[in-house]
Amino acid sequence: MRVEKFNAKKSQRLSLLILEQCNGLSYNAVQKIIRNKDVKVNGVRVNKDISVQQGDEIIFYVKENQIPKIDILFEDENIIVCHKPLKLETVSETNDNDLEKQISNQINSQCYAVHRLDRNTEGLVVFAKNMEAKFELDNAFKNRTIKKLYLALVFGKLSKSEDDMIAYLKKDSKKSFVQISDNPKQNYEKIETKYKLLKQSKSHALVEVELVTGKTHQIRAHFAHIGHFVIGDEKYGESEINKLYNKKFQCLCAYKIIFHFDKSSILSYLDNKEIKIENDKISFIKDIK
């Protein structure tokens, strides 16, 4: 039995809050947890799907077999590469239900995240299984010798089949928001985003994106800046369009990674190794027409 504890960030039905907090649980499983009184709200056990207020403390108990296993695409004695689902933080200091803890529990060994994806972005995440591998991976991500490619479903009709976009980004950490400028400005950092058009319809496009620089929300903000926001993006997109597509989370997936290590690295055997998520495993691909 696992214990999950968090504070409600908004007023909502108890079942919906648990579904958002504990990725992978089905609606029926959550209802069963509530009926069995395996939930406490502000220290009091409940057996009904009550309305919870912002700031309420919620504790619920989950059997290990109720949580689906994380899909591991590659594993050896040094690293793990897995498919992070939506609604799951890579690493969290306040929530016991994060990807790092789930993977560590799943293989019964401590793993270390060497990079992160946004909670509402799915895709490949790399973990080190020992400190030597962590050191090599940390340096590789810092020096950008590991190539990461994304798939994104963006709104509108793109005028170019491929582009190497240059702009300037300013981060507002307090608001968790970034601004984009076409021209250099004080406190703005240069960004570079490459894309290739894979599929175009009258109203949306599927693109492969390469982050040459890797700044906060870069893909989402950069495409929104050029008038082609990522569908489902509630922060940089348009809510009415997202509703038309019935998307509550950004259609963005870190779907491919290509390793590059020199011969002196303990991970040199991974040089030029490519790992990717197949299209039928990506949540939004099946909806593309």
Q: Are residues 78 and 62 both part of a single domain?
A: no
pLDDT above 70: residue 219 = yes
Q: Are residues 192 and 176 both part of a single domain?
A: yes
pTM of the model: 0.82
58-70 in b/e burial notation, b at 16+ Cβ within 10 A? bebebeeebbeeb
Q: Are residues 157 and 35 both part of a single domain?
A: no
Contact of 126 with 114, CB cutoff 8 Å: yes
Residue 284: C-alpha distances to residues 19, 116, 191, 207 (Å): 19, 20, 26, 13
Secondary structure of residue 197 in the 3-state scheme: strand
Residue 53's CATH number: 3.10.290.10
pLDDT above 90: residue 61 = no
Domain residue limits at 226: 149-253
CB-based contacts of 116: which residues, under 8 Å, 6+ apart?
A: 90, 91, 125
Distance between CA atoms of 152 and 226, rounded to whole angstroms?
14
pLDDT tens across 100-123, in order?
A: 988 998 898 999 999 999 989 999
Q: Are residues 170 and 215 both part of a single domain?
A: yes
Q: Are residues 161 and 141 both part of a single domain?
A: no
Read off the DSSP letter of residue 230.
Answer: B
Residue 132's CATH number: 3.30.2350.10
The confidence score (pLDDT) of residue 135 equals 97
Residue 226: C-alpha distances to residues 17, 55, 177, 231 (Å): 34, 38, 17, 14
What is the rounded average pLDDT for all residues in the chain? 92
